[in-house]
Amino acid sequence: MSTVTAPQVRRRKVRAGAEPLVMVTAYDAPSARMADEAGVDLILVGDSLAMVVLGYDDTLQVTVEDMAHHTAAVARTRPRPLVVADLPWMSYHLGVDETVRNAATLMRAGARAVKLEGGRKRVPHIEAIVDAEVPVMGHLGLTPQSLHQMGGFKVQAKTSQAALELVSDAKALEAAGCFSIVLEGIPDSVARMVTESLDVPTIGIGAGRDCDGQVLVFHDVLGIEDRIAPKFVRRYANLASDGVAALSAFAADVRSGAFPNDDESYHMSSAEADAMGLYGGGTISG
């Protein structure tokens, strides 16, 4: 099956009869292979990498080099889904030229599109990246890189004024050339309004069911990250507790001598073992 492209994603509006888009994050080769086999449409190498893989408390800690390293691991699996890489904090804040250079680093690492956070003030940066022939995904609402500006991971656009601002931001991103927009942590009615006012698809996370698609973090879907459970996360597996149980069983088997057994060990031919016994003076059986 051929790989998913940004222009194909751009056409995926539910109101035009399209199936909702499915996006999941992945940060390495095994997670990319799982997402691909599951048949998702897009893989996001998200800067959530910082929190769910690298152990940081927020997403501000990852660099372009970190993102490129993990994007390359995902891309090496040559997945069918469109690979979108997050431009991390401070990679598109210092000027348009640097923004384009950073987008190029992620594309050369194997991304097929980049994502960045923010509204109207990002328009020049989005236009410059699009001008360099790189598809851009927008990200509005609860934008984790603005954690400190927002005063925490808080639902956004809860007032009518803020909701209208968000709709204008979304229209500005569409006009600047974004092929899709992530809507995170906003009331479902606001996400519906944005989705209705755009021709490009919206992909929601904590934004209700009326978006053109949904995205979740790999470690949340699979229950690998089980310390925090935001309301919008649905867990489809409990790999953290399954993993602890499996590792505990391994530890118990090692300690009791039950692992490895004879079938899990390599054996010499009995002739060679006998010969070794002869030369070594001992008796070793194969």
Cβ proximity to ligand KIV, 233 vs 273, nearer residue: 233
Residue 62 is a binding residue for ligand KIV (CB under 6 A): no
Residue 28 is a binding residue for ligand KIV (CB under 6 A): no
Structural tokens at position 84? 């979108």
| Contact residue for ligand KIV among 27, 41, 42, 46 (CB under 6 A) | 46
Residue 182 is a binding residue for ligand KIV (CB under 6 A): yes
Residue 205 is a binding residue for ligand KIV (CB under 6 A): yes
Stretch that binds ligand KIV, among 41-49, 126-134, 219-227, 272-280 (CB under 6 A): 41-49
Q: Give the integer Cα–Cα distance in Å for 283 and 16.
A: 77
Please, is 7 exposed, middle or buried when counting C-beta atoms within 10 Å of its C-beta (0-12, 13-18, 19+)?
exposed
Q: Give the integer Cα–Cα distance in Å for 124 and 126.
A: 6
Stretch that binds ligand KIV, among 32-40, 44-52, 155-163, 164-172 (CB under 6 A): 44-52
Neighbouring residues of 265: CB distance < 8 A, sequence distance ≥ 6: none
Total binding residues for ligand KIV by CB under 6 A?
11
Cβ proximity to ligand KIV, 106 vs 182, nearer residue: 182
Neighbouring residues of 24: CB distance < 8 A, sequence distance ≥ 6: 35, 38, 40, 42, 43, 44, 215, 216, 217, 218, 221
Q: Give the integer Cα–Cα distance in Å for 42 and 79.
A: 9
Please report how close the Cβ of residue 184 comes to ligand KIV at its closest, in angstroms: 6
The answer to whether residue 184 is catalytic is yes
Cβ proximity to ligand KIV, 150 vs 276, nearer residue: 150
Q: Which one is catalytic: 127, 133, 174, 184?
A: 184
DSSP H or E run through 64 = helix 64-75
Cβ proximity to ligand KIV, 58 vs 274, nearer residue: 58
Crossing angle of helices 96-108/123-131, nearest 10°? 50
Residues labelled as active-site residues: 184
Residues making contact with ligand KIV (CB under 6 A): 25, 44, 46-48, 86, 182, 184, 205, 215, 217
